[in-house]
Structure 1
């Protein structure tokens, strides 16, 4: 992903388009509800108790997008503080 993003960044840079890799940890989503295997679904729900709300992740995206034109946030690693 990094190599593709860097290639894309170089390709679109002349057009004033910025690229950012955002690597999220656990974000509260409906993923646990989509798992049909009961044991796996329950284990996933238990792990997702520590997940950050989607609104927090949205603030991270807004931060990257809200930078001035002369700033390019290349990469953000985002995860809950309690995540191992």
Structure 2
């Protein structure tokens, strides 16, 4: 019985193809006492909590806004990463 509940909960919480596992993805954005914070997921499954000025996974975060993280990649290109949906 307990295993059936666990399996059902896992299945209900899983959305197929909700995020591209091969790209840097914004998992969440929060506003706290220290300002905006974003959670990034790298293509190899690592996570980082970042704020403007922080660097993670080759991205330097310049701003965190409504539904997106704006930064500069390791080659100096501007990048806008949208918050994942699903």
TM-score (norm 1): 0.29
Normalized per residue, the structure richer in helix is 1
Structure exhibiting the larger radius of gyration computed from Cα positions? 1
TM-score (norm 2): 0.28
Normalized per residue, the structure richer in strand is 2
